[in-house]
Structure 1
Amino acid sequence: MSYDVIVIGGSYAGMAAALQLIRARRKVLVIDAGKRRNRFAEESHGFLGQDGVDPAEIAGKARGQLLAYPTLTWVEGNAERAEGEKDAFVVTTADSARHHGRRLLFATGVSDTLPAIEGLGERWGRNVFHCPYCHGYELDQGRIGCIATGPMSLHQAQLLPEWGEVTLFLNGAFVPDEAQRADLAARGVTIEETPVARLEGKADVRLADDRLLPFAGLFTASQVAPASQIAEHLGCSIEATPFGTQIQTDATKESTVPGAFACGDAARVPHSVSLAVGDGAWAGAQLHRSLVF
């Protein structure tokens, strides 16, 4: 069977794109490995109409709505390889099944490379966050720690005082100059230069000198990369951003390989559920237009 579009990745962006296409009565295959980036979070915030809802509930409801359309096929598993060209792509899954499609959409999401700090990984998405718009309000203007990962962390530390009293842990990631230090001081940000040893409790920071500093929540900037290299192996160009790397696309969300599109966290910055859904909806419409014109 040949599909109009094969969507690789069935999270928010992929499903938003698929919805536009199946409502145009196009045959769509979604291949999904079931690993949403926000699977560790108990609540999703900042998404209109779904504020405070379990992200798994949002994704499950969306999938159920998509499956009600007769032109949608959903396959659970990993897409291992993509090859071919516009109007003649082939995607091979981990079980060696081969799926044919006229267009491809990479909505693979991203993987996060976190600071190598003991205790941080298990708190990621629960007490350690990357987006204050998604999680800042719930900290109730309490004490916030910002763990630096590089020069971009300056911007994060400058923004976070909107949500509480901020301490910036430089942790050897960068050295702010005098003007930057003055700006942070004017915003009420405390700079802590002692390295972080580990995280304890809910969101407590143990320093190398054994001091323990408690916080309502912590923020850090992970480095991201597409969660799968399948697009790169097809020949899609990958570009650098201040947050890591992503699949390069034009204004229509088409990659550098004709007929292969990309959307969501793997193809745009910054990242949130709302932005992923919007990006996916736009990509779906543009994919449909590419099949018509």
Structure 2
Amino acid sequence: MDKDAMDDMFDVVIVGGGAAGLAGALTLTRARRSVLVIDSGSPRNAPAAHMHGYLGQDGESPAALLAGGRAEVARYGGEIRPGTAIAADRLPDGGFLVRCGDGSTVRAGALLVATGLVDELPAVPGLAARWGRDVLHCPYCHGWEVRDQPIAVLADGPVAVHQAQLWRQWSERTTLLAHTLRLTDGDRELLAALGVRVVEGEVTGLTVQDDRLTGVSLADGAVEGCRALVVAPRFTARSGVLSSLGLPTAALERDGHVIGTCVASDPATGATALPGVWVAGNVTAPLEKVAGAAAQGVRAAVAVNTYLIEAEGRRAVEAYRAGGA
């Protein structure tokens, strides 16, 4: 970000240039708002070659979707700057000062934070390098592409049995790798009834041939063949800017187990507890897919515009009364 562009003023600054942030920016620029998107260029789904379940865009690459979105925002006068927003301050006039990693600052009447999350992966050697390719977690995103192939589920957390049940819908050749999880008798009975094999032993690595996953290595030296490995990452909200404004993260729970963090917001609008600040996408809804994140960005943008309209109305009335006095 250009350090000479100090304290530029925008109606809205959007932190995050993924699907949620760009959808919000597109809505606000079409509403004739001055909008700046600060984009760190690190979308969560960057490792994936394709995205799915987005009507009209199924099979498109995440990079292509974002490139198209940036062009659309620019077409309506929105500005996109590469950089990392690290903190924000509330100003006396109710606006915000956003501080970036290169020392530059910008001002905004309202903030929309769509910084997403970080997937914290299990500590198995070689796993991270294949994340989003054949190491997967979401069957709605990737299940069709590995249908009927041998799928292994890594059981290192409380949702593993549920994952095995779920992925079995795409392939009857689904195996649960017990790894570090202690299965209950009820778990084992359910899996047996569903025809899901259970393989004992800790997973110590992956086997790869011709840049394709072929299996996993176990501590006893055995190799269990598979074409896809399912894991359950911990979802950690990228919340630095929000934390600087006093907005904490909350525990994300599923079936009584903590599986990550998120920033609480109104589910309909994305409004946070701090007036003038909205969130959209995985930073507040970690389980949301690309299409849902984009929809959240649109809803939040409408709420942001309403907030600005109301503030403008109050200022106009005050000026009108002062002029008539």
Q: Which residue pairs with 1:223 in the alignment?
A: 234
1:145 to 130, 148, 152: 152
Structure 1 residues 221 and 20 mapped into 2: Cα distance closer, same or farther (>3 Å)? same
Deviations 1:188-222 (A, max 9, x none): 21122210010121221111111112212111110
1:232 to 243, 253, 259: 243
Distance 2:217 2:288 in 1: 29
AA of the residue aligned to 2:270: K
Q: Which residue pairs with 1:73 in the alignment?
A: 79
- 1:152 is displaced (CA, Å) by 1.8
Q: Which residue pairs with 1:166 in the alignment?
A: 174
Which secondary structure state, in structure 2, belongs to the residue aligned with residue 162 of structure 1? coil
Deviations 1:106-162 (A, max 9, x none): 100111110000010000011101110000101131111111231122221111100
2:57 to 47, 50, 54: 50
Distance 1:183 1:269 in 2: 28
1:246 to 262, 266, 272: 262
Aligned length: 291
Q: Which residue pairs with 2:131 in the alignment?
A: 124
Deviations 1:1-60 (A, max 9, x none): 321111000111100111111111111110001011111111111111111111111111
1:14 to 10, 21, 24: 21
Is the CA contact 1:10–1:107 (under 8 Å) kept in the aligned structure 2? yes
1:212 to 208, 220, 223: 223
Distance 1:288 1:176 in 2: 51
Q: Structure 1 length normalisation: TM-score?
A: 0.95
Is the CA contact 2:95–2:276 (under 8 Å) kept in the aligned structure 1? no
Is the CA contact 2:235–2:286 (under 8 Å) kept in the aligned structure 1? no
AA of the residue aligned to 1:210: G
Distance 1:145 1:109 in 2: 27
Structure 1 alignment gaps of length 5 or more = none
Matched, 1:197 2:229: no
Matched, 1:264 2:281: yes
Question: CA RMSD of the aligned region, Å?
Answer: 1.4
Q: Which of these two proteins has the greater Rg computed from alpha carbons?
A: 2
- The alignment-based identity, stated in percent, is 37
AA of the residue aligned to 1:170: A
2:35 to 22, 28, 31: 28
- 1:228 is displaced (CA, Å) by 4.4
Q: Which residue pairs with 1:277 in the alignment?
A: 294
Is the CA contact 2:135–2:230 (under 8 Å) kept in the aligned structure 1? yes
Q: Which residue pairs with 1:61 in the alignment?
A: 68
Distance 2:239 2:25 in 1: 19
Structure 1 residues 55 and 277 mapped into 2: Cα distance closer, same or farther (>3 Å)? same
Bigger mean CA deviation after superposition, 126-135 or 211-220: 211-220
Q: Structure 2 length normalisation: TM-score?
A: 0.86
Q: Which residue pairs with 1:99 in the alignment?
A: 106
Distance 1:54 1:128 in 2: 17
